[in-house]
Structure 1
């Protein structure tokens, strides 16, 4: 619910800022809405009593989409979520729920570059499901052919999808127009999270068995090189200028900065807790890193951490809403 302002005998709702940061809090089962101008949480919205790990905002910034994964970790026993909460950010209310006919452990939501298709990983179906955001109805299935297709990324061209398949330790490449698997790229015994460079030349995913980052050449769908890391990599995101990749090292409470021209680590920053995910602000000046109970703010000009923001317990998935 919005915070009210008392004015005479009227109770007027406090308008949300034009832009805000969304944080999915796994352990609190809430969605934090943060004002980036003040670095304060202004809302904590309850989701359906079970864990939502990830979040995305609609292109108009008015709606948050939170898949309800269930009570388990990826590949582990637990409940199998079968729904996605659609939340009106201004009112803080769940306005619609997408329900699958069976448990699919829906995890990562992502809009295609046009904003006309919502994709959500449905890992128990070994697939990514395409949803029409006008009707909130599933319209297509893109098979991955692999277990635990937990996270994925779509190329800026909108033609390719890359899924990080955790337990199998590989990446599936999907041709989106035909909904066909192009190839599967072996990575390691276990891989996590995935991102793509701004020019679509490189896909990045982190080995969970060794402290190294796989750099995939999208022209050949092979690993171009391994980048040694100071700890196990996890979430990654390129900066808006395309020069750097921000890499969370959650077992070291640090973030590494990779120069994408030299493919060398050029900075390492301390984090206030185990860093999970990264989102870069649209203007490119700041990046935000979820750190379990707070969000660290990185100044991408000076590569400093000027402050952190209190969030909910288990802060993980991040999204920017304009």
Structure 2
């Protein structure tokens, strides 16, 4: 395995501390090709705010206070005009604390909260995804052991899907929109959901504790990270069972595939690295050093840059996929959930 050199990160951090612009002069061609109007959305847990960032320059365009404690994840509307932020509460999964019960809607152009959905009781809403096939929002609602289906046009709850497990923290949707998969942290399982039927298909045992979830671009494999051992579970979606394990240098966390289906990137918090897995061989081929506590990974629409929220440092690492070089973007306090908003609003 190859490792990106530590001195690159130290140089970047030094530059940021001195106020040097975060963008490299030699920007990635994909970054240059991104529309000037696209924005990167980043949740700042420690500030209960949403950061709106220019992904090309790393400049913060705005910071919107959510008005509640606190969001962890974010999704953008199909037209890029709105951001949806579930308000989870003041603790982490499986820990005592408040149970959030709202979904906050933020207008990206006006940079303010414009609507709220009240779930009616504390549900710890966490992961939010927009399903492009039916236009609905799907939100994990941990306390109720469900995924809640919301019509973004009316901001009304239209259905719930049972997960059959507690701590259904994160959700992945198949690219054909037919199935959903939740990572159930404490139980160490994955729930398989039939999205059209709004029903639970099965529960897959994985480990004593698992974290995060992603799905391959061909919908054949689902990935979740064992928290008891440094390994990644590979679930065969045809059989809904663990097919194999991928050894990791340290326990994994968030993961996501590149759009071309070639690589799977896995955040590893303990070593402050991102592992790169070849999806043909299912082996780690490279590790990349990033700032402390990488959480979530988002691939740009151009498939040229991976954005990694590094919570403990308040940085977002932008990894250029053509050569694995890293540049750093300033995030907020405990930056976590990331999303991309493609719109015409910032011209």
Kindly tell me the number of residue pairs found equivalent between the two proteins.
306
Equivalent residue number for residue 38 of structure 1: 57
Contact 1:23 1:311 in 2 (8 A): yes
Equivalent residue number for residue 316 of structure 2: 295
Residue 312 of structure 1 pairs with residue 322 of structure 2: no
TM-score in terms of structure 2 length: 0.87
Contact 1:153 1:196 in 2 (8 A): yes
Equivalent residue number for residue 94 of structure 1: 113
Equivalent residue number for residue 4 of structure 1: none
Equivalent residue number for residue 84 of structure 2: 65
Equivalent residue number for residue 70 of structure 2: 51
Q: Deviations over 1:99-139 (max 9, x none)?
A: 01110000010011326101111110100000001000000
1:1-322 pair list within 5 angstroms: 17-114=36-133, 116-292=135-311, 293-305=314-326, 307-322=327-342
CA separation in 1, counterparts of 2:235 and 2:105?
34
Q: Deviations over 1:294-316 (max 9, x none)?
A: 100000111221x1000100001
CA separation in 1, counterparts of 2:251 and 2:299?
21
CA separation in 1, counterparts of 2:134 and 2:59?
28
Contact 1:113 1:158 in 2 (8 A): yes
SS of 2:333's equivalent? strand
Where structure 1 has 5 or more consecutive residues not aligned to the other structure, the ranges are 1-15
CA shift, 1:17, in A, is 4.6
CA shift, 1:49, in A, is 3.4
Higher percent of residues as helix? 2
Where structure 2 has 5 or more consecutive residues not aligned to the other structure, the ranges are 1-34, 343-347
More moved, 176-185 vs 162-171? 176-185
TM-score in terms of structure 1 length: 0.93
Q: Considering only aligned residues, what root-mean-square deviation do their CA atoms show, in Å?
A: 1.0
Contact 1:277 1:316 in 2 (8 A): yes
Higher percent of residues as strand? 1
CA separation in 2, counterparts of 1:303 and 1:224?
29
Q: Deviations over 1:3-55 (max 9, x none)?
A: xxxxxxxxxxxxx9510100001111111111012111111110123110000
Contact 1:297 1:309 in 2 (8 A): yes
